[in-house]
Amino acid sequence: MRSGSGLVYLLIALVFGLSVAHILIMPVEQLMARQIRKTGQTDPLIIRNTIINTGYPISQWILGQKTMKEIIEESAAQQMSYSKNPNQAYTAGQMKTDTDFDPWTRFLLEEKPALLSAIFLVLFFGMPFVISFLAYNQVSGDIQSHGLRYLLLRTERSNIYFGRFLGAVIFSTVVIAIIVATITFYLGVKTRIYPAMALIGWAACGFLALSILMVPYIALCSLISASVNSPFLSLVLAKVAIAGVLLLALAGSIAWKPAKYLLYALPWGWQSHLLHPAPTHWAGAVLACLAYTALFLMLGYYRFEKRDI
């Protein structure tokens, strides 16, 4: 909040998080409203199938189990089959039985509140792009204005560098808590699809996973902020680094499959595993996030300690 970047991040994160939730919840609410108008009650099976129909392609793409091309082709094949036999319903929930789902997808869509899982997956994909609006100007603005010279009369560089990083982490965690709590409360009160305890438990897991995910990206912004003199340049470089790794991996893998491993230059390759049902997977993802954080922080601090401010 000191430089205004915190307020900008708060607004962008809230708009993004709540917009994602609205887009995914709206079809379910519309279906429930139509059912109530026609029959006076809701059909849980149809609602469940609609949610799976929404969440299945999202989970398959974000988890890296299918490409967007494969998902589009599968959807087109379903539409063609439906046009040939319009009396048969071809929703994802009716086409695929529980045994057709892989264990990861089944865990997210069957064992956990599927609508909340779909929202978490989209937030996992989008929040790394949003976090740079908070963390880009940890020290670069003060380096540009030479304001750190006055702070160094009363404290050490390590206190400034790690203190700013810790402040960004705490603020990010609070904002994520607000977003997750708002979405969960709305799902519980407005839609009433899932039991309250199931929603609260899965929301707590999602909040923890999102909070952990943001830490290495904040550390990356710390490194960039300590390396340049301009806050604007720091923001641009953070955006380029975060988006560039993802785009290079996705585009490069089309021509050369091993290019997909570029995702592991940042937590992109690990982060979805924070929602994996197997303890070895999510524990490995947590350790990977901590390793990225330590690496970026140490590189950033080395740069900050050596440079003239």
**pTM for this model (two decimals):** 0.87
Instruction: Give me the domain span that covers residue 61.
Output: 5-306
Number of domains in the chain: 1
Per-residue pLDDT of the chain (309 residues; tens, 9 = 90+): 555 778 889 999 999 999 999 998 888 888 888 888 888 877 777 888 778 877 787 787 777 766 666 666 666 665 565 455 544 444 444 444 444 567 888 888 888 898 999 999 999 999 999 999 999 988 888 888 777 777 777 788 888 899 999 999 999 999 999 999 999 999 888 888 888 899 999 999 999 999 999 999 999 999 999 999 889 999 999 999 999 999 998 888 888 888 888 999 999 989 989 999 999 999 999 999 999 999 999 999 999 988 877
pLDDT, tens digit, 9 for 90 and up, residues 114-144: 899 999 999 999 999 999 999 998 888 888 8
Tell me, letter by letter, the H, E, C secondary structure of the chain: CCCCHHHHHHHHHHHHHHHHHHHHHHHHHHHHHHHHHHHCCCCHHHHHHHHHHHHHHHHHHHCCCCCHHHHHHHHHHHHHHHHHCCCCCCCHHHHCCHHHCCHHHHHHHHHCCHHHHHHHHHHHHHHHHHHHHHHCCCCHHHHHHCCHHHHCCCCCHHHHHHHHHHHHHHHHHHHHHHHHHHHHHHHHHHHCCCCHHHHHHHHHHHHHHHHHHHHHHHHHHHHHHHHCCCHHHHHHHHHHHHHHHHHHHHHHHHHCHHHHHHHHHCHHHCHHHHHCCCHHHHHHHHHHHHHHHHHHHHHHHHHHHHCCC
